[in-house]
Amino acid sequence: MSALAIRDATADDAEAICAIWNPIIRDSVITFNPDPRNPAEVIGLIAGRHEAGHAFLVATLSGQVIGFASYSQFRPGPGYARSVEHTINLSPQARGYGAGRRLLAALEAHATAAGHHVMVAAVSAENAGSVAFHRAMGYQNVGLMPQVGWKFGQFHDLVLMQKTLSAGVGPSAAAINSAK
């Protein structure tokens, strides 16, 4: 059996990422986004994250993409330059290999090295597995936003969780922005 690997996503991964993401979009409230992703859009997301100095990673097993994760600035503006929010999604066959833990740990390491201080997880309250996963990874519940998501003809709650990545102040906003 091939070892699990984590690496930077490339444009060549876009179709595999869509194959993981679109069933989640189509069939669940893990994301409130109702619109499927297409490879061109994913290529743009990958390029945009990398250009901004943020990570977009994939997990592979036997050369096949089984999950992906990325992060970007939590909210626009320089006051949030050190706070980021992540996305992480796995294919059903990724379970049991530690792909989620490895992807999130790699995102956190990348964000810490880039000078970010807090990583946020915005999780559908109906996704108890993700809430438990984030809690096990050191994230704390910091809020519940009732009925802010809309999908499948009903409102859904959002759980906000966060983890402090570094105790220090990190680089200046100018240093972070110059990396973009």
* 63-104 pLDDT per residue, tens: 999 999 999 999 999 999 999 999 999 999 888 889 999 999
- pLDDT exceeds 70 at position 29: yes
- Going by pLDDT thresholds of 50, 70 and 90, the confidence category of residue 176 is very low
Count of positions (residues) in the chain: 180
- pLDDT exceeds 90 at position 167: no
Q: Count of CB atoms within 10 A of residue 28's CB?
A: 13
Instruction: Name, in order, each residue with C-beta under 8 angstroms of 83's C-beta and a sequence gap of 6 or more.
Output: 73, 74, 75, 116, 117, 118, 119, 120
CATH H-level superfamily of 4-120: Gcn5-related N-acetyltransferase (GNAT) (3.40.630.30)
| Cα–Cα dist 64/48, whole Å | 23
C-alpha of 75 from chain center: 15
Task: Return the CA Rg of the chain.
Answer: 16
Burial class, 103, CB count within 10 angstroms (exposed 0-12 / middle 13-18 / buried 19+): buried
What is the residue type of 68?
F
Per-residue pLDDT reduced to its tens digit, 39-50? 999 999 999 999
- For the chain, give every domain's residue range: 4-120
Q: Count of CB atoms within 10 A of residue 113's CB?
A: 12
